[in-house]
Amino acid sequence: MKKNNIIAILAALIFLLLLPLSSWAFRCGSGLVSEGDSKTKVQVTCGKPTSKETACENAHEYTTTSKSGKTRNVKKCGKKLEVWYYNCGDNDFIYKLTFENGILKDEDTEGRGRGKSDCLGR
């Protein structure tokens, strides 16, 4: 009987270790959001974020010269990202949700939250 228990525990541990990290989700009250969800679903599930910002990934900068001889610097953004922050209060974290083309691509924490929670259900 002990051998079966050990095998079951080892199988469960191996299964948990093989789960991809992207399977984690951000809990908003009784709802969950995870990678692949739309901005609309996130806002309906979690409410309005504490703050939003835009970011640029893989930016390129180069100089061009016009026919008249004027030079100018040009900046191009490779990927436009939108980042939403949720401050979930004193006993929780600040969550950073990154969207690309309106789809949640990454969820991370940005340190401890402060004050009253802006997260639904927390």
| pLDDT for 96 beyond 90 | yes
Residue predicted with more confidence, 118 or 13: 118
* Vertex 98 angle, CA 95 and 100, to 5°: 165
- Across the range 73-102, mean pLDDT stands at 90
Beta strand 93-100 pairing with 103-112: antiparallel
In the predicted model, is pLDDT for residue 6 greater than 70? yes
What is d(CA 105, CA 119) in angstroms, rounded to the nearest whole number?
19
DSSP secondary structure string for all residues of 59-94: -EEEEEE-TTS-EEEEEE-SEEEEEEEEE--TTSEE
CA angle 40/94/56 to nearest 5° reads 60
In this predicted structure, the answer to whether residue 90 has a pLDDT above a threshold of 80 is yes
pTM higher than 0.95, yes or no? no
